[in-house]
């Protein structure tokens, strides 16, 4: 009889322990399911200019019109694929803030151009995520930089018929800087207006303002010596073959253009913060990877395709002074965790909350009865089995 009781109790303990293991396994599965990325299926709209569109990269999407030169390897496409979001990409090379919310962008006649609608038309109350890189074309920065390429490390700059010693002299007179004035008087207010329009058009979206990477290095990342970063775009004079991926800028202009870009990104950062948007800082993290870098550059240099003196004209290869694929991959890697952090997975449901069991000593004082702490059914049954075995052995000893 006692042996039968021991077997029953021991078996019950084993069954209880097995049931507890199954419950624990089920909880683990539910917890794993609960941490599935919450970005899956989000409605994502990408806005912006050539730095968002992936100008110079292939393959091309032909969206929103062929003339936008948008690449399917740009950071919006990479983000959408990595996070499972539904992408509407209306980025377009050459876009200004006006093309975001007031003026359709004319990129030339079809079939290679087309008129892109205002980018704001892609936004709605159902938009969950927005990324944007904008402001550079309002300042004319890419065009300015491209027009500053020098014929030698100490100049002059290719700007017929005057051929100034450097590009800075074209914009700075005394203490007045034309580009800084334009940034403060025109570009910054335009950014603020644009961000306000985005908030109104997509009131439920989380917006990520992606800064421009460093195109020109700071002093710490500029090689010492009179040459600095300089490599010639026209090593054979005005005759081909021209330089490939060159960096034809004087030391004066490297310092000046870096300062202009720093001011631009500072303005974008300030306005993004004021709008309540998330600013993704690529600029500071790419100072060692500018177009000056001999290895690990995130930005293309200049490749001249054609050049003439009369009339003065120069044609640069697509993607000049824009992120290469390595740079776009870096930008993706910067934006991705920011989006993930903005959409955290909910904590697993802990189930109903049970009132804590009273302390055994307290119950003994109140009732005079013995109470077993709540350590789980399985452990309780196992304990009962052990005590029963001990009792049976004692009985056998006494009988013997």
Task: For residues 366-372, give the mean pLDDT.
Answer: 43
Which candidate, 299, 219, 286, 231, places its Cα nearest to that of 259? Answer: 219
Let me know if residue 309 belongs to a domain.
yes
Percentage with pLDDT > 70 across the chain = 78
Q: Please tell me the predicted confidence (pLDDT) of residue 142.
A: 81
Q: Please tell me the predicted confidence (pLDDT) of residue 155.
A: 94
Taking 70 as the threshold, does the pLDDT of residue 31 lie above it?
no
Let me know if residue 366 belongs to a domain.
no
Let me know if residue 14 belongs to a domain.
no
What are residue 116's DSSP bridge partners?
A: 105
DSSP 357: P
Let me know if residue 17 belongs to a domain.
no
Catalytic residue among 50, 52, 255, 263: 50
Let me know if residue 331 belongs to a domain.
yes
Q: Which residue is listed with tokens 């056998």?
A: 396
Task: For residues 264-273, give the mean pLDDT.
Answer: 98
Q: Please tell me the predicted confidence (pLDDT) of residue 314.
A: 87
d(CA 70, CA 93): 7
Task: For residues 343-363, give the mean pLDDT.
Answer: 64
Task: For residues 30-35, give the mean pLDDT.
Answer: 35
Q: Please tell me the predicted confidence (pLDDT) of residue 353.
A: 61
Taking 90 as the threshold, does the pLDDT of residue 33 lie above it?
no
Is residue 124 flagged as an active site residue?
no
- DSSP string covering 108-119, please? -STTT--EEPPG
| The two three-digit tokens of residue 201, written as one number | 């058009």
pLDDT band at 352 (very low <50, low <70, confident <90, very high): low
Instruction: State the chain's maximal CA–CA distance in angstroms.
Output: 123
Q: Which residue is listed with tokens 């876009």?
A: 95
Taking 70 as the threshold, does the pLDDT of residue 386 lie above it?
no
| Count of structural domains within the chain | 1
Pick the residue with more confidence: 6 or 361? 361
Task: For residues 302-310, give the mean pLDDT.
Answer: 88
| The two three-digit tokens of residue 224, written as one number | 């010492």
Is residue 322 flagged as an active site residue?
yes
Lowest-confidence region among 134-138, 235-239, 283-287 = 235-239
Let me know if residue 55 belongs to a domain.
yes
Domain containing residue 106: 43-342
> Do 280 and 205 form a contact (C-beta atoms < 8 A)?
no
Let me know if residue 5 belongs to a domain.
no
Pick the residue with more confidence: 205 or 396? 205
* Average pLDDT, rounded, for the chain: 84
DSSP 287: G
Task: For residues 82-94, give the mean pLDDT.
Answer: 97
In this predicted model, what pLDDT tens digit does every residue of 107-143 receive, in sequence order? 999 999 999 999 999 999 999 999 999 999 999 988 8
> Do 326 and 286 form a contact (C-beta atoms < 8 A)?
no
Q: Please tell me the predicted confidence (pLDDT) of residue 7.
A: 37
Let me know if residue 104 belongs to a domain.
yes
Catalytic residue among 121, 313, 322, 370: 322
- Here the CATH number for the domain that contains residue 190 is 3.40.50.1110
| pTM for this prediction | 0.78
């Amino acid at each position: 009889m006692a042996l039968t009781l021991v077997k029953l109790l021991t078996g019950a303990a084993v069954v209880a322990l097995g049931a507890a293991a199954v419950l624990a396994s089920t909880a683990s599965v539910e917890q794993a399911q609960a941490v599935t990325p919450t970005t899956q299926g989000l409605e994502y709209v990408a806005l912006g200019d050539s730095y968002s569109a992936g100008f110079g990269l292939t393959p091309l999407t032909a969206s929103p019109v062929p003339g936008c030169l948008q690449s399917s390897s740009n950071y919006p496409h990479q983000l959408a694929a990595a996070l499972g979001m539904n992408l509407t990409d209306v980025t377009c090379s050459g876009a200004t803030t006006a093309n975001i919310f007031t003026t359709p962008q004319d990129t030339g006649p079809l079939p290679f151009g087309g008129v892109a609608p205002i980018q704001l038309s892609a936004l709605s109350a159902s938009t969950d995520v927005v990324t944007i890189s904008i402001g550079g074309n309002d300042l004319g920065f890419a065009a300015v930089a491209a027009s500053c390429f020098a014929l030698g490390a100490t100049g002059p700059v290719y700007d017929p018929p005057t051929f100034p010693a450097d590009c800075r002299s074209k914009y700075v007179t005394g203490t007045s800087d034309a580009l800084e004035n334009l940034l403060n008087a025109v570009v910054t207010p335009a950014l603020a207006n644009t961000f306000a329009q985005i908030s109104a058009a997509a009131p439920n979206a989380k917006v990520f303002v992606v800064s421009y990477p460093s195109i020109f290095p700071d002093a710490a990342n500029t090689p010492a010596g009179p040459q600095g970063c300089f490599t010639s775009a026209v090593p054979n004079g005005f005759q081909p073959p021209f330089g490939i991926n060159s960096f034809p800028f004087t030391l004066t202009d490297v310092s000046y253009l870096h300062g202009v870009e720093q001011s631009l990104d500072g303005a974008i950062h300030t306005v993004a913060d004021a709008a309540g948007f998330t600013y993704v800082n690529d600029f500071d993290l790419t100072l060692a990877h500018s177009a000056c870098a001999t290895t690990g550059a995130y930005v293309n240099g200049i490749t001249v395709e054609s050049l003439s003196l009369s009339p003065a004209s120069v044609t640069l290869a697509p993607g000049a002074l824009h992120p290469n694929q390595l740079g776009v991959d870096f930008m993706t890697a910067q934006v991705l965790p920011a989006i993930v952090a903005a959409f955290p997975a909910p904590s697993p449901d802990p189930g109903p909350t049970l009132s804590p069991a009273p302390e055994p000593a307290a119950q003994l004082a109140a009732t005079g009865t013995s109470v077993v702490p709540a350590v789980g059914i399985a452990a309780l049954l196992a304990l009962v089995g052990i005590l029963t075995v001990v009792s049976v052995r004692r009985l056998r000893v006494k009988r013997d």
